[in-house]
Structure 1
Amino acid sequence: MPRDTIVILTGAGISAESGLGTFRDVDGLWTRYDLNAVATPEGFARNPALVHAFYNARRANCATAAPNAAHDALARLERDWPGEVLIVTQNVDDLHERAGSRNVLHMHGELSRALCAACGHRWPAPLEMHAADPCPACGAAATRPDIVWFGEIPYHMAEIDRTLDRAGLFVAIGTSGNVYPAAGFVREAALFGARTLELNLDPSDTATDFDETRRGPATELVPAWVSALLAP
């Protein structure tokens, strides 16, 4: 069976050049917020208003951002590659979709979605959400962002595993390599015979697990890689 499936893992580094903050930069989100307070179920239980304020700000930031050349190049790859291209993103923004990518799995959820903590119903999130907002399905005032917080299980893991098992190429772009299970994808893909490539500004924690690594900004590396891959 031909292994013409490409699985691409993207992290915060691909959206940084669109003006969306990363967690681990010197001035990143971890240095400005206590993520135990705003990115855990326990933090939400203690102070839902604070959590909503944090994600309302991130949602507003995302709304003013635009896809960059790296997002555009991956949309081109999905459109023109003869096989399957799956983007698995750790990002909660919608820049891949706005660039034109359609085969995207958000393993950590999406800023544009709301979730009822009482009944599990999901719906499109308004620009601003509040702790007292009622669930449109059950009416409970248990509205939360549809985001996978620390201690919760990432979304779409079964589908991701199935695609990694048949991938011919696995590429990680703009990832830190220190958040699991995503950090283990390179080894899983390699175990099933995929070639592996890292495109990153700096070496990730798993850089040595890749067959090849390239260093530089995503807006330069990704378009060049896609153009070379699609060249006749």
Structure 2
Amino acid sequence: MDTSLVKAAEVLAGSRFTLALTGAGISVESGIPDFRSAGGLWARFNPAEYATIEAFRQDPHKVWRMLAEMDRLLVRSRPNPAHLGLAELERLGYLQFVITQNVDNLHQAGGSQRVIEFHGNAATLACLACHAVYSRAEVSNQAVPPKCVCGQVLKPEVIFFGEEIPPPVLAQAHDLVSLARVLLVIGTSAEVAPASMLPRLAKEHGATIVEINPEKTRLTDELTDILLQGRAGEIIPALVAELKRRTTDGWPPVTGCSRSAPRPG
């Protein structure tokens, strides 16, 4: 068995508070290309023209050409073994929260209960004029772009370039990261601020960084303690299996290890 996987299982079993930070890479196996990949949205839609809040305010009909394509991908996608494995880690008490940069709702669909949506969720839409909020199901029969009852074009509740992370979300993420004994960094190179600061903050507070990515990233040499290189859909289930095996073999977590999730703030 891979010694890195064994070591990762050991630190997870001994951790009193573990977080996962996930990015686009975890959802690639669900059929959602990384926006920046050759087959991603940015290959066809210039983000400066389609993904800024200024672009949406100026021409929401144009921006919805990109959003409609994104929506088609999200509607077809399903949780993959990586999402299901993280939900299982939470159920077993080895994972306290997921902080995700994704807007696809796949963590929740996969069974995770404690998810911090750093960049929002495309499953809900809001009106910038009257602030009404709709679920995707409520507007599914409308033409594109969907509109509010007040007549304005609706915007998915995702963070566009030029928008701030909501202060309560940012504060909660920082509080959780400062408590982490282990941070799983999965499917992200963590190069886009402010999410890029979370692994560094965790490290500064003494966390062990376990990176799960198909390729090495800038984090690998700078912050990562344990690298599990490969597909998250294979590695996370293997990690779950190793933890279950060790528990069955009478290898309990460290005495006093918390299995509840403190809620900062």
Q: TM-score, normalised by structure 2?
A: 0.79
Q: Show the counterpart of 1:78.
A: 90
1:106-145 to structure 2, matched below 5 A, reads 106-125=117-136, 126-127=139-140, 130-131=144-145, 133-135=147-149, 139=150, 141-145=152-156
Q: Show the counterpart of 2:100.
A: 89
Find the partner of 2:207 among 170, 191, 194.
194
Are residues 1:225 and 2:239 paired?
Answer: yes
Structure 1: how far apart are the matches of 2:234 and 2:126? 36
How large is the Cα RMSD of the aligned pairs? 2.0
Q: Show the counterpart of 1:172.
A: 185
Structure 1: how far apart are the matches of 2:56 and 2:124? 17
Structure 2: how far apart are the matches of 1:129 and 1:167? 45
- Unaligned segments of structure 1, at least 5 residues: none
- Residues 110 and 216 of structure 1: is their aligned pair in 2 closer, same or farther, counting only changes over 3 Å? same
Q: Show the counterpart of 1:35.
A: 47
Q: Show the counterpart of 2:110.
A: 99
Aligned-residue offset at 1:194: 1.2
Query: Aligned to 1:181, what secondary structure does the other structure show?
Result: coil
Same amino acid, percent of matched pairs: 32
Structure with the larger strand share: 1
Aligned-residue offset at 1:213: 1.3
Q: What per-residue deviation string (whole Å, max 9, x for no partner) do you get for residues 79-134 of structure 1? A: 1116x511111111011111111111111111111112124343313336745612
Q: Show the counterpart of 2:160.
A: 149
Structure 2: how far apart are the matches of 1:158 and 1:26? 34
Write the letter of the residue equivalent to 2:178. D
Write the letter of the residue equivalent to 2:172. E
Structure 1: how far apart are the matches of 2:82 and 2:146? 38
Aligned-residue offset at 1:37: 1.7
Q: Show the counterpart of 2:8.
A: none
Write the letter of the residue equivalent to 1:107. F
CA contact (8 A) 1:166 1:192 kept: yes
Of 66-75 and 122-131, more deviation after overlay is shown by 122-131
Aligned-residue offset at 1:4: 1.4
Query: Aligned to 1:100, what secondary structure does the other structure show?
Result: coil
- Residues 134 and 190 of structure 1: is their aligned pair in 2 closer, same or farther, counting only changes over 3 Å? same
Which of the two has higher C-alpha Rg?
A: 2
Are residues 1:68 and 2:80 paired?
Answer: yes
Of 211-220 and 48-57, more deviation after overlay is shown by 48-57
Are residues 1:46 and 2:55 paired?
Answer: no
Aligned-residue offset at 1:152: 1.2
Query: Aligned to 1:74, what secondary structure does the other structure show?
Result: helix
Structure 2: how far apart are the matches of 1:104 and 1:166? 16
CA contact (8 A) 1:24 1:30 kept: yes
Aligned length: 227
CA contact (8 A) 1:131 1:141 kept: no
Of 184-193 and 205-214, more deviation after overlay is shown by 205-214
- Unaligned segments of structure 2, at least 5 residues: 1-13, 248-265
Of 37-46 and 167-176, more deviation after overlay is shown by 37-46
Q: TM-score, normalised by structure 1?
A: 0.90
Aligned-residue offset at 1:53: 2.6
CA contact (8 A) 1:134 1:143 kept: yes
